[in-house]
Chains A and B, each alone.
Chain A
Amino acid sequence: MMGFISYLVNGISLGSVYALIALGYTMVYGIAKMLNFAHGDVIMIGSYVVFSTVSTMGLPPAAGILISVAVCTVLGVVIERIAYRPLRQASKLVVLITAIGVSYFLQNVALLIYGANTKSFTSVVTIPPLSLAGGALIISGETIVTILACIVIMIVLTLFIRHSKPGRAMLAVSEDGGAAQLMGVNVDGTIALTFAIGSALAAVAGVLLCSSYPSLTPYTGAMPGIKAFVAAVFGGIGSIPGAFIGGILLGIIEILGKAYISSQLADAIVFAVLIVVLLVKPTGILGRQIQEKV
């Protein structure tokens, strides 16, 4: 029983990371109507920034995280400006291929700077593990911090989007960019802001991910990126609560699958679940029903 609870908590923790990454996918999709497949690699860049500043330069972890968030925010905006904005009128396929190109570009930049060798990431979390039920259940500091960070970020983000001027602009652009523009809303600026927020969250996700799973390579971001994309689709792409629910569920499924079915098959299980969900509910758990006009 304690084993199950422990797996469940670990699953929620991993799921929290997926949820943070999935937010980036889902917000960008909702507002710019594109899939930013380079999003996973922004996580990797963010983790390397923390690695360089904290492990190599010896800065305090908090400073390293702030620098990483700043670097990723700028990186996200620059990627949007250079790679995606010129393609605003192009077909979706062109944008998708460009995003894959940006993804490889970022991986190769990291490969050039840091090499292919695995770097060992030092956890930025210093709080001690929590021991419950007389030592039968131990929850690591990383797990606690990850879950709390995800909850706080979700609340702040939801409040920001629902109750602030830039948030309303984001909602308006996601519903009808043309009408929003005619009401004087700067659509390009709003899309840039979305990339900035998504990338800042990716930096946080990268730090949390690498604190729990401390090996860092130029490909570290790829798999979590894909899984977070699955989480976003699973929850209903374009929906923020959907990304949260999808991420958490995916993390739980992955960890429980590893623990009780097969550690080799865990990833396959994750994707199988996606296929089943899409067969039953093509728009995802909280996805908007697309009404067909007859």
Chain B
Amino acid sequence: MALLEVESLGISFGGLRAVDNFNISVEKEQLYGLIGPNGAGKTTIFNLLTGVYKPDKGTIRLDGENMVGKNTIDINKAGIARTFQNIRLFKDMSVIDNVKVGLHNHHSYSTLSAIFRFPSYYKVEKEIRERAMELLKVFGLEEECDYLASNLPYGKQRKLEIARALATGPKLLLLDEPAAGMNPNETGELMDTIRFVRDNFHMTILLIEHDMKLVSGICEGLTVLNFGQVLAEGTTGEVLNNPEVIKAYLGE
């Protein structure tokens, strides 16, 4: 059974059918791409998957568990984490604190022990710090752990967003245009990072991307969205050679 199964998903905004009859199926540990022209509804689908929007039709199943109707927090706890098209780090917090926020639901102690510093506070905070440092090391950010997030260079901010999302312990990682605004060097490095995350964390990854070099380089399967509907799906090679897809992207 596929890890993520979405069937006939749809949502309207006013009179606009933003997403209609959308289906996708992503296997465990697959690297899957969602592409399409601007305004096709890709980010809307991410917002539906994470519970930011409620679909008016269709089902979303993660590992067989229904996600429709859950709120964003419960969906995150169930195992879907994401990054954002326009980076949304907690900019005035340190790099490590951003990751610690991601670890929020995995370590706990009472508020009173946080105020009065009971031993449980020190013990759990130490665990949180160690876990956060491990994640930062994976992304080569351990040197910068005490920097403000806003002071990181752009490429590293993107990496930190991925680290923060991974900290929440997801089964499925959604990356919304991870290569946006990157130069070819940074994009190359990012491709390595994404592959590394998939291999080392045994992560299933669904990504939205416009950069065809990245898409053709790392995605194993693709779904093309146009005007809120699926235009084509299949393996990356098939889809990118599909005349319909070429037409939608480049015109005739």
Contact = CB atoms under 8 A, between A and B. Distances in A.
A164 B93 contact: no
Task: Specify the main secondary structure of chain A where it touches its partner.
Answer: helix
B93 A165 contact: no
A193 B112 CA distance: 11
Task: Specify the main secondary structure of chain B where it touches its partner.
Answer: helix
A181 interface: yes
A160 B109 CA distance: 13
Given A183-B81, A184-B168, A169 B104 contact: yes
A184 B73 contact: yes
Contacts of A166: 111, 114
Interface in B80-135: 81-82, 84, 88-93, 97, 100-102, 104-105, 107-109, 111, 114-115, 121, 124-125, 128
A178 B125 CA distance: 25
A184 B114 contact: no
B93 A182 contact: no
A175 B91 contact: yes
A167 B104 CA distance: 11
Contact of A160 (B77, B90, B115): B115
B121 A164 contact: yes
A160 B104 CA distance: 15
B73 to A, nearest CB: 6
A156 B114 CA distance: 10
A179 B84 contact: yes
A175 B93 contact: yes
A186 B111 CA distance: 14
A163 interface: yes
B164 interface: yes
B93 A171 contact: yes
A169 B111 CA distance: 12
Given A180-B101, A183-B81, A183-B168, A164 B90 contact: no
A15 to B, nearest CB: 24
A172 interface: yes
Contact of A179 (B73, B88, B109, B125): B88
Given A156-B115, A164-B114, A179-B84, A172 B121 contact: no
Given A172-B93, A176-B90, A183 B101 contact: yes
Contacts of B167: 183
A165 B114 contact: yes
Nearest to A184: B76
Contacts of A165: 100, 104, 107-109, 114, 124-125, 128
Given A160-B114, A165-B104, A168-B100, 19 more contacts: A164-B121, A164-B125, A165-B108, A165-B109, A165-B114, A165-B124, A166-B111, A168-B97, A169-B104, A171-B97, A180-B101, A181-B73, A182-B50, A182-B52, A183-B102, A184-B73, A184-B168, A185-B104, A193-B111
Interface of A: 156, 160, 163-169, 171-172, 175-176, 178-187, 193
